[in-house]
Structure formats: structure tokens, C-alpha cells
Amino acid sequence: MVGLVRWLFDRDDRNGDPATQRERMVEKLRTRRRIKRESTADALEAVPRHEFVPEDRRDSAYVDRPLPIGAGQTISAPHMVAVMTDLLELETGDRVLEIGTGCGYHAAVTAEIVGPGNVYSVEFVEELADSAQDRFERLGYEIHVRVGDGWEGWPDEAPFDAAYLTCAAPEIPPPVVEQLKKGGRIVGPIGNGRQELIRAFKRDDGLERERHGGVRFVPLQRAE
């Protein structure tokens, strides 16, 4: 029943070709004040989200909801990607670390802003990393992917201007903070059970944190 009501409510989001659906999605996010920066709007309008979601979910690619991507993981709703992208205050040329590649959608949005070769993404589940990598190649995104535990960041490619987590960690991972430049930003869901979206700036005397409301993400997995 809830499913049917949702389907009816979102019905209009499924009409038209992907580009038209995308434009409408961005327009709605703007109206709901989920997008503040022009660069974020442009990026969301550029990335073909329908190419990142499972084939049987393509008709819902531009509905503002999370979607399953396999391996028990989910892709965040577009508004969450928009909010996190705004908070990172990205500029062209920034080097960015992503923890949790998933299907690669969020990384592609980031890459639209910072440019080719500047996004470094770590994914725990090999099968997801492999299919994201294939997708990036097919769609022409130059994004670096590594299989591993994102808690450790990507030391060989540090330092980064910005970093974000797409899975919830009990605290901001200290190795990732270490790999940020001074003035660098980190955004992500923090907490066990109850999670909050946190943005922190790396300052001379430590992290300056801000809270950006309650959220729900899949937990960050650790190797045993």
C-alpha cells in the first residue's frame, strides 16, 4: 500500500526522456532548497543517474529516493548527494577522497565539479568497485578506484582538499583527517545507530565541526 501511494506520488518524475527527468529533478531540488551552489546543480544535471542504478530500477532513477545497488548497499537519494556536494565547497582542480564508491554515482557528481583524475574513491566490496570502474570507463569518467577499507583513506595519494564518507562511521576516521590539507573539508554521516551529517574543517589546532542534521546511511564495514 505504501509502495502504491509512493508510486502515484512520484509518477510525474518518471515521465519523459532521461535528460528531461534530470532537469525536473534539479528544478525540484532547487525549489526545496536542497541545492545552493550552481556547480552542484550543473553536476546533478550532467550525470546520467539512470546509468548507475540497476536496470530494473531505471524508471525510478530520477525520483528523489535512495535505491538498492546490490551487495546489500544503497545509493543515496539525489537530495543527499546535493547537500553533501554543497557542503564540500568544491572547486575545479580540488583533489577529493571518497569513502564508499558504491555504484559510482556520487563520485561522478564530484568529478563533474573537480574535473578528470581528481576523485579518489575507496570501496570495501570488490564486486561493487569492479562494476563502478567499468561504468566509469564506459561513461568516460576518469575516477580512481581502490578496493580496501576506506577508514584508512588513501595514503599514497594524500594530501586531499576534501573528503567524504558515503557510509556511516562511529567517528571521523583519524587517518583521513591526517590525509587532509590544512583548511580541507570532510563531510559524512557519523554515529553508531543514530547518525548525524557532520562537516569538519581541518584547522591548525584540530577539527572545527558543524552538525547538519540526522541522516541514515549504511554502516562503514571494517575488516575482521
Mind telling me the catalytic residues? 76
Q: Is 128 a residue that touches ligand SAH (CB under 6 A)?
A: yes
Q: Which of 13, 94, 112, 123 binds ligand SAH (CB under 6 A)?
A: 123
Which H helix or E strand runs over 164? strand 160-165
CB of 175 to ligand SAH, least distance (A): 11
Please give the grid coordinates belonging to residue 198: 557532520
Determine contact, residues 24/13, Cβ cutoff 8 Å.
Answer: yes
Q: Which of 40, 60, 73, 118 binds ligand SAH (CB under 6 A)?
A: 73
- SS3 of 12-53: the string is HHHCCCHHHHHHHHHHHHHHCCCCCCHHHHHHHHHCCHHHCC
**Segment contacting ligand SAH (CB under 6 A): 42-50, 144-152, 188-196, 198-206?**
144-152
Q: Is 197 a residue that touches ligand SAH (CB under 6 A)?
A: no
Render 57-90 in DSSP notation, one character per residue.
GGGGTTSSS-EEEETTEEEPPHHHHHHHHHHHT-
First to last CA, the chain: 40
Q: Which of 102, 153, 184, 188 binds ligand SAH (CB under 6 A)?
A: 102
Q: Is 89 a residue that touches ligand SAH (CB under 6 A)?
A: no
Q: Is 187 a residue that touches ligand SAH (CB under 6 A)?
A: no
Of the pair 205, 224, the CB lying nearest ligand SAH is at 224
CB of 3 to ligand SAH, least distance (A): 22
Q: Which of 47, 49, 87, 105 binds ligand SAH (CB under 6 A)?
A: 105
Q: Is 63 a residue that touches ligand SAH (CB under 6 A)?
A: no
Q: Is 163 a residue that touches ligand SAH (CB under 6 A)?
A: no
On the 0-12 / 13-18 / 19+ scale of CB atoms within 10 A, 97 is buried
Of the pair 137, 208, the CB lying nearest ligand SAH is at 137
Q: How many residues bind ligand SAH (CB under 6 A)?
A: 24
Torsion-angle region of 30 (φ positive above 0: left; ψ -120 to 50: alpha; else: beta): alpha
Please give the grid coordinates belonging to residue 56: 530494473
Among 41, 39, 44, 68, smallest CA distance to 55 is for 68
- Using the structure block, give the residue that is written with the C-alpha cell 586531499: 160
Residues that bind ligand SAH (CB under 6 A): 69, 73-76, 99-100, 102-103, 105-106, 122-125, 128, 149-151, 166-167, 218, 220-221
